[in-house]
Amino acid sequence: MIASPWLLTLPVILPLAFGVLTLLFPSDWLARTGRHGAMLCAAAVVPCTRWVWQAGPLHQSPGGWTAPLGIDLYLDGMACLFLIFTAVMGLGISFYAAAYYPPSPDGTRTRNDLFWPLWFVTWGGIQSLFLSQDLFNIYVTLELISVSGVGLILIAGTPGAVRAALQYQMQALIAGLVYLLGVGLVYNAVGTLDLQLMSDQLQPGLMKNTGMALMTAGLLIKAALFPLHFWLPKAHADATAPVSAVLSGLVVTVAFVMLTRIWFAGLHQLAPFLLPKLLGILGSAGIVWGGVLALRQHRLKRVLAYSTVSQVGYLFLVFALTFHDAPGQGLVWTGAVYLTISHGLVKGAAFMAAGYLQKAEGTDQLAALKGCARRHPVAVMVLAVASINLMGLPPSTGFIGKWMMLKASFHTQQWGLAVVMLGGGLLSAAYLFRVFEQLLQPSGPPSGPSRGGEAVTPLTRSQSIWMLTPAMLLALATLLPVLYITLPDALLRIGAPLPFSDFIRPGGTP
């Protein structure tokens, strides 16, 4: 079987092309173009999935030059899983955004219309990143994603959003440069930018290690790990809802996925004890810190944003859990991937629901949302499903992920991490119950279209449907793997760079 030349590049080129198109089209075409474009972009992932499923991993080199000189794209099970995840999120966000941003009354372009080009470019960048196998290409795509993220935040147009965008851009620039310095050192040590070729060069080497450490530091800033998270909550909470969904649902996962890739391309040989411990401690601190701050917020979107800080902390525990070469290692990785994806899906859904409430009620102040459940039952239900995931309660993927990691922490006898994980679950329960306490009040404040000083235009029926359906579907998607849990797991093991476990197989449980 010969792969078509566009197989791996189409998922990148198509969103970029739609980015240009939506920049040029007149305003009243945009919602439709956005929806159709999203469907096409998502469809571009289907052939990739088919290929991986039937023929295994695939290398392609855009530019026609193979790895040491050119850039290689590499599609394996993990990349494919994340492509599917991106496509699903992309579909949901696009349909939601098409309903969220109202068409301008006289057909002229407004600032909202810039959402589409920026979002499609972000989409293309994320797909490119998941496929990339080249250290410098990763730098460029990371910058592409951050800069378009800044633009997306700016769509809100408030001074708070501008300030958040400024901070976001500053951290992105610095993180990118730190990462780039690391890439330069690694390149000078091993003479290649390709991840796979780099991991073949087994001898650690001083310069390579230093470069790896710098790259890790850069990615940690991008991933918003605990002491470097300062920019995240403002940016995520002050943006408009579709943008929050993009940033919290998709963009946050990106740096983590890249870190795992680099980890297995040689990072794990470097400082085998110190670095994982450090990441574990920072992750734990993030879980607690994010949770505590989420408890103190008075706005729904702020609560969700701080919850992202907390959940990102969980992901980094994975590095601490695997440094013992214990038999349960693979379990941790599978768990982390499940957790990443489920967090992305539910955080996207939760921000969509929060945006719906904000639009319907004119504010996302918790106090003003009293009794919302009566008026907007579906939105609150989405939030409920999301909460089940965030807390890590049984029928959800979040539970599966956290359970796997918990189990690994027992295996490696890291009781401290186990306590933090359980405590983090309790914390998230606390801050989410605080939200629901308000939402589920039997009676709210006197309802009226304008509250909090903002004039509210009532949502039309079709607008509500188009906004809530994607949110609901994304939230429900996290419950699916309970039925088909072997499917993603089987996909993950194709061309696995990570030692994914075969925990499902009978007798395979360590």
Partner 1 sequence: MPSSALIYTLAGIWIAVIGLRGVLAEEHVFRKIVASNIFGSGVFLVLVALARRAPDGPPDPVPHGMILTGIVVAVSATALMLALLGHLHDTDPDDREDSP
Partner 2 sequence: MTTGLIFDIVLAFSLVVLAIITLRQRTPGESVVQLMIFGLLLALSWLRVDAPDLALTEAAIGSGVTGALLLAALHRTGFGTPFPSAVSPWIRYPVTIGCALLGAVLSLVVMYTWDQPAGLTDPAYAHLEESGTQNPVTAVILNYRGYDTLLEIGVLLVAALSVYTLSGPASGTPVKPPGPIFRFYMRVMTPVFWLVVPYMVWVGGRAPGGAFQAGALLSGLGALTLLGPTPWPLRLKRRVVRWGLSLGFSLFLVTAAWMWQYGNLLAYPTEQAATWILLIEIACTLSIGISLTVMFAGCAGWLHEDPERAV
| Residues near partner 1, by CB under 8 A | 136, 139-140, 143, 147, 150, 154, 159, 162-163, 165-167, 169-170, 172-174, 176-178, 180-181, 183-185, 187-188, 193
Q: Please choose which of partner 1, partner 2, none residue 62 contacts, taking the beta carbon within 5 to 8 angstroms, the exact cut-off set by kind.
A: partner 2
478 backbone dihedrals φ, ψ, rounded to 5°: -75, -15
Residues within the interface to partner 2 (CB under 8 A): 5-6, 9, 13, 16-17, 19-20, 23-24, 60-65, 68-71, 108-111, 113-114, 117-118, 121, 124-125, 128, 136-137, 140-141, 143-144, 147-148, 150-151, 154-155, 157, 162, 165, 185, 187-192, 205-207, 210
Contact (Cβ atoms closer than 8 angstroms) between residue 441 and residue 353: no
Q: Please choose which of partner 1, partner 2, none residue 124 contacts, taking the beta carbon within 5 to 8 angstroms, the exact cut-off set by kind.
A: partner 2
Q: Which is nearer to partner 2, 203 or 462 (CB)?
A: 203
Q: Please choose which of partner 1, partner 2, none residue 128 contacts, taking the beta carbon within 5 to 8 angstroms, the exact cut-off set by kind.
A: partner 2
Q: How far apart are CA 451 and CA 436, in angstroms?
A: 20
Q: How far apart are CA 177 and CA 166, in angstroms?
A: 17
Q: Which is nearer to partner 2, 72 or 361 (CB)?
A: 72
Three-state DSSP at 176 gives helix
C-alpha gyration radius of the chain:
22
Shortest Å distance, C-beta 296 to partner 2: 24
Shortest Å distance, C-beta 169 to partner 1: 5
Tokens of 138: 């990763």
Q: Which is nearer to partner 2, 139 or 323 (CB)?
A: 139
Q: Please choose which of partner 2, partner 1, none residue 364 contacts, taking the beta carbon within 5 to 8 angstroms, the exact cut-off set by kind.
A: none
Q: How far apart are CA 136 and CA 262, in angstroms?
A: 12
Q: Please choose which of partner 2, partner 1, none residue 210 contacts, taking the beta carbon within 5 to 8 angstroms, the exact cut-off set by kind.
A: partner 2
DSSP single-letter state for residue 134: B
- Quick one: which H or E segment has residue 74? strand 73-75
DSSP single-letter state for residue 208: H
Q: Which is nearer to partner 2, 147 or 345 (CB)?
A: 147
Per-state percent for the chain, helix, strand, coil, to nearest 5:
70, 5, 25
Shortest Å distance, C-beta 385 to partner 2: 33
Q: Among residues 428, 416, 431, which one has the least CA distance to residue 317?
A: 416
Q: Please choose which of partner 1, partner 2, none residue 174 contacts, taking the beta carbon within 5 to 8 angstroms, the exact cut-off set by kind.
A: partner 1
Q: How far apart are CA 205 and CA 240, in angstroms?
A: 46
Beta strand spans in 11-148 (E) = 58-60, 73-75
DSSP structure string for 277-310: HHHHHHHHHHHHHHHHHHHT--BHHHHHHHHHHH
453 backbone dihedrals φ, ψ, rounded to 5°: 80, -10
Q: Which is nearer to partner 2, 17 or 456 (CB)?
A: 17
Q: Please choose which of partner 2, partner 1, none residue 70 contacts, taking the beta carbon within 5 to 8 angstroms, the exact cut-off set by kind.
A: partner 2
Place of tokens 């990785």: 333
Q: Please choose which of partner 2, partner 1, none residue 176 contacts, taking the beta carbon within 5 to 8 angstroms, the exact cut-off set by kind.
A: partner 1
Shortest Å distance, C-beta 230 to partner 1: 9
Shortest Å distance, C-beta 172 to partner 1: 7
